[in-house]
Copies of this chain bind each other. A is one copy, B any other.
Amino acid sequence: MTKSSEGLTVKKDNFSEWYSQIIEKAEIVDLRLGIKGFITIRPWGAMLMENMFQLYEQELQKKGHLPVIMPSVIPEANLKKEASHIQGFTPEVFWLKTGEGEEKLALRPTSETVFTPMFGLWVRSHRDLPMKLYQKGSVFRYDTKATRPLIRGREFQWIEAHDAFATKEEAIKQTQEDIDTTEKVMHQKFGIPFLPMKRPEWDKFAGAEYTIGSDVLMPDGKLIQQPSTHLMGQKFSRAFGAIFKNEDGKEDYLWTTAYGPCISRILASVISTHGDDKGLVLPYCISPLKVMIVPIYNLKNKLKVLKYCKEISAKLNELNIKSMLNDSEKRPGEKFHESELRGIPFRLEIGEKEMKSKSLTLFTRDTEKKEKLSAQSLNKIKDLGKAYDERIRKKADKFMEGKITNCKTKEDIKKALNSGKIARVNFCSVDKDGEKCAGHVEKELGAEVRGTLADKKEKSSGKCTICNKPAKEVVYVGKSY
């Protein structure tokens, strides 16, 4: 945090340009290595992601998951075992050049094809079940489309949880638990609301029985898929012969699920959801720094003020409130600007007045209000941090209000989409036979059928908005990344 950063030159209304500027100016990423789809994540972004990883892992561990570290590569033979999986992923795979006679290896695009055979080895009987594992790290997709930092890339940082069960019911329950994990972490902690969408048949994960994605609405009215969970059923376990002895002593194939929160991509939503015209607004629970201390001094009282600020900083750190004393030679105004651009939740402005009264000036990033905080009550910042997180989450929730519009005609849908909304429409089918209508939506409206609500069965009465046949489903249509 040594260099002066230029401020944003566009407002958030101009979202695309705002996003491009903020990720670089707030020193989250750097694109100047110039490798298509591969980015550098700078310390501010890396520390932020580390905190996000930790909260996610805590929740997964609380729910009985244990970490593992699998190879970053997958042998061709494994990748090809499950037919629909390889069909979906082949074009997106980076292959390694290996020596003659050596096995062909791919950089993992996802790891079902190494987890499943290991489940087969590790699980002998129903007594070993459930087995819930996860790993964190990079995955790679040879994406030929346009890439966008943190949103779409060729390498991204995620967690993939893979679970094995004795029955289908338990596996289905796991996918519900996964939605709860998204709710507990991404929504409750990071403040990002989402719609859990059961994807149409044609849009599910390659190899899954069903996929539930979580759709987040970005400020530009486009949807981005955040953590998705997949019921693999017995598809992968059959392909890999991953069997176990059930309660009746009979052999059966394992029931598996997978859940994939992509931390780098969730960071894109954190930035986009909470940020404003001045910069980032980071949730207190994941901000690398909770407080920036800005000393206000003149030539005469400089040493005295700095000494007092150091004491305050030490006290904060003792209280486990991560703070940073900004004692550089810059003017206070520049430091204010920097703390706002970086999205640090609180700023303590401390000059001679504050020193004497032992009453500090506390600036809060989201409300941009200043208030007094007694030097004796520094611990109060933790509660203020909780209230702050709740406030920005509620603000994000509020943004979602009224963003879903019932649409009866294509014109309605078009209007909804153009005003940054999600269209709720009657639709013929989310099975294979609905794909044609989805194709129409894509071509004519430039939007996607995202699926049906996963946590609530919605009844459709009318006719399909596209083909006019009886509508079996209520689906959500939106523009997407």
Residues of A in contact with B (beta carbons under 8 Å apart) = 2-3, 30, 32-33, 35-36, 38-43, 45-47, 49-50, 66-73, 75, 78, 94-99, 102-103, 105, 107, 114, 117-118, 121-122, 124, 127-128, 133, 135, 137-138, 140, 142, 144, 155, 157
Contacts and interface: CB of A to CB of B under 8 A. Distances in A.
Given A40-B69, A46-B67, A46-B69, 9 more contacts: A3-B122, A35-B75, A39-B71, A40-B68, A42-B68, A43-B67, A47-B67, A69-B157, A94-B97
Contact of A138 (B43, B46, B67, B72): B72
Contacts of A3: 122, 124, 128
A140 B73 CA distance: 10
Count of chain copies: 2
5 contacts: A32-B117, A33-B70, A46-B67, A47-B67, A72-B138
A348 B466 CA distance: 68
A46 B32 contact: no
A67 B96 contact: no
Contacts of A38: 71-73
Given A33-B117, A137-B138, A155 B73 contact: yes
A114 B69 contact: no
Nearest to A114: B33
Contacts of A35: 71, 73, 75, 103, 105
Contacts of A68: 40-43, 46
Contacts of A155: 71-73
A128 B2 contact: yes
**Interface residue SS majority, chain A:** mixed
A12 B125 CA distance: 33
A288 to B, nearest CB: 9
Contacts of A97: 94-97
A314 B157 CA distance: 34
Given A121-B30, A137-B137, A71 B128 contact: no
A49 B133 CA distance: 16
B95 A96 contact: yes
A49 to B, nearest CB: 7
A-B interface, 7 closest residue pairs, ranked by CB to CB distance from nearest:
A38-B71, A43-B66, A41-B69, A46-B67, A95-B97, A46-B69, A94-B96
Contacts of A122: 3, 30
A124 B3 CA distance: 9
Contacts of A50: 67
- The CB with the most chain B CB atoms within 10 A, among A97, A99, A114, A142, is that of A97
A142 B155 CA distance: 20
Contact of A99 (B46, B135, B144): B144
Contact of A32 (B67, B73, B118, B142): B118
A137 B122 CA distance: 26
B2 A127 contact: yes
